[in-house]
Amino acid sequence: MKKYLKVLKILKKLGYNAGWIYYKLLEDSSSTVFYIYNLFSFTVIILSSTLIILDLIDAIPIAVKPLAEKLVDFATYVIIFEWIGRFILSSDFSEDFEKAYFKYRNFKKAFWVALRPKWQYIKSFYSVIDLLAVLYIFQPLRILRILAIIRIFRLGFYRFILEGFIEVFKENLSQLTFLIIIFTIFLIFMSFLIFTVEHKFNPNIKTFFDAFYFTFISLTTVGYGDITPQTYAGRIVVVATVVGGVGLFSLFTAILSSGFIEYLERIRKGMVEFKTLKNHIVICGWNETGRYIVKEIRKNPKLFKKHIVVITQHEGENIPKECFVKFGDPTKEDTLLSVNITLADLVIILAEKKEALNEDTIDARSSLVALLVRSLTSKAFIIAEYLKEENAKAAKKRHLANKIIIAGEYLGKLIGKSVIQPQSIEVLEELFEDINLKIIPFGELSETPMTLEDLLKRLGYIKIIGVYKGRKLILSPPLELTLNQNDRVVLLDEGKSV
């Protein structure tokens, strides 16, 4: 048993570290790294898909074919890298195995129960697409190289990039249209000049279309070499054409890149709606407490993958970059709906201080937000912060939130305890900083009722510090206490001790 637990602990640590890196690259749409990597991945997949299609119709020159094959293989390794990442992120295997083993006391059954979410991912559409697209990498299956073309279906992963480009094109349509008009005029004018100075001396430029073709190639590339200017005047015109082409394409690139960067910044600053978010965390209001909340969420192995959206009316607030920000009033229904509050797992209401608002008014706003959130969703767990004790008591009586906290209450208790017993503050600080608690339904640990003593004998190595009987928390429960399926057990992380 101890041997398995030691292996599980190592797997947990490795899984968390690998999962955190993969999450930042593949899923954390609030991270700059996510957009950079996915733009790179999108480009690689598009390029490799194009090369595969060209190879199928024998349109790749023999001299270039080895390089094309290397690029396709590189894209294949990118797909394998991403498949492994999504496999890791699909579930927490070590956590699922641990719970299943405690419940069934059977290694084989626990293994298959923990593997089930992984198998569901393997069977998913995009997983099958990835697996078929990389099969040819194995030498006996080289004949299946044609299946690599189906990697083009992976473009569904990059929907946000395609949507972003469409949005950027729409917003910069007038500038792009003007640039296209200038490009067209410049192209026709330079084609006319080339035709004028070259058609009498250049056997490759017989018609205006030849001049147009040569000018277009010079504008967009450095030329293919099939047509070259024969006169000094023609060479000067070509130099001017190339310089003009570089300038026009630089403008085109600058408009698109600045537009895309602005679009991403608008996403982070909450100037768009977050209709696709689900199972996320919404923080209504912002104050200094918010920074510590976000820090703790990001440190938690179970919560670090959840998106966090902050709704605030203060644009100057120093909000962590890993959060989405929605500038707006959380007391307005439209604002809450714009962050998809109906599908949120957790809603935290902070007492956001504003000029000309006293503590009673701020608490009243917190109550209004709590009422509004509860009317929109019964799924979310609501935590509300109040400034005044009497307002918090009134909110508790009306069950406005699942948990109501008075600002400064715990700090006051902490200081009070340290005055009575100075050394106790070290214990309390340790509890706050380093101790990890797990609250697990008893039904996940056993299929039949049993006493706390029997559970401890069964699980041995863990520390049970409390039991929830309904809403009532029993700390240091007696050993003879009987645990039922609806009870919840408060466990101390096995790697920590007080």
Q: pLDDT digits over 2-23, tens only? A: 555 566 666 677 777 888 888 8
User: Same structural domain for residues 306 and 374?
Assistant: yes
Least confident of 159-163, 178-182, 215-219, 399-403: 159-163
- pLDDT for position 146: 61
The residue type found at 325 is V
Q: For residue 161, is it within any domain? A: no
Q: Are residues 452 and 384 in the same domain?
A: no
Do 288 and 401 have their domain in common?
yes
What's the domain range around 57?
2-156
Asked if 56 and 74 touch (Cβ cutoff 8 Å), the reply is: no
CATH of the domain at 231: 1.10.287.70
Strands 381-386 and 403-406: parallel
Does some domain include residue 137?
Answer: yes
User: Is the backbone of residue 379 left (phi > 0), alpha (psi -120 to 50) or beta?
Assistant: alpha
Nearest to 458 by CA among 44, 12, 50, 102: 102
Assess if residue 362 is contained within a domain.
yes
Q: Total structural domains in the chain?
A: 4
pLDDT at 497: 41
Same domain, 251 and 323: no
Domain boundary among 221, 245, 268: 268
pLDDT score of 498: 39
Q: Which helix (H) or strand (E) holds 143?
A: none
**84/215 Cα distance (integer angstroms):** 48
- Of 281, 286, 291, 269, nearest to 362 by C-alpha is 286
- Residue 428 belongs to a domain: no
The answer, yes or no, to whether residue 193 has pLDDT greater than 80, is: yes
Residue 162 is assigned to a structural domain of this protein: no
- In a shared domain, residues 38 and 131: yes
135 assigned to some structural domain:
yes
More confident residue, 423 or 208: 208
CATH of the domain at 457: 3.30.70.1450
Q: How far is CA 284 from CA 65, 140, 352, in A?
A: 56, 57, 8
pLDDT attached to residue 311:
92
Give the pLDDT confidence score for residue 138 in this predicted structure: 66
As given in the structure block, the two tokens for residue 105 are: 């006391």
pLDDT digits (tens, 9 = 90+) for 345-403: 999 999 988 877 899 999 999 999 999 999 999 889 999 999 998 999 999 998 899 99
Together in a domain, 48 and 85: yes
Cβ-contact 278, 199 below 8 angstroms: no
Domain CATH for 398 = 3.40.50.720
Please indicate, yes or no, whether residues 62 and 149 belong to a single structural domain of this protein: yes
58 & 107 share domain = yes
Same domain, 129 and 184: no
Supply the pLDDT for residue 9.
Answer: 66
- Is 399 among the domain residues? yes
- Residues 291 and 257 placed together within one structural domain of the fold: no
pLDDT digits (tens, 9 = 90+) for 242-295: 888 888 888 888 887 787 777 766 666 655 557 778 889 999 999 888 888 888
Per-residue pLDDT averaged across 474-489, rounded? Answer: 86
**Same domain as 293, residue 318:** yes
Of 108, 127, 156, the one marking the end of a domain is 156
Would 163 be classed as within a structural domain? no
Residue at which a domain ends, from 156, 181, 213: 156
Whether the per-residue pLDDT at 33 is higher than 90: the answer is no
Query: Are residues 362 and 475 located together in one domain of the fold?
Result: no
Distance CA 182, CA 248 (A): 9
Quick one: CA torsion of 37, 42, 43, 44, rounded to 10 degrees?
90
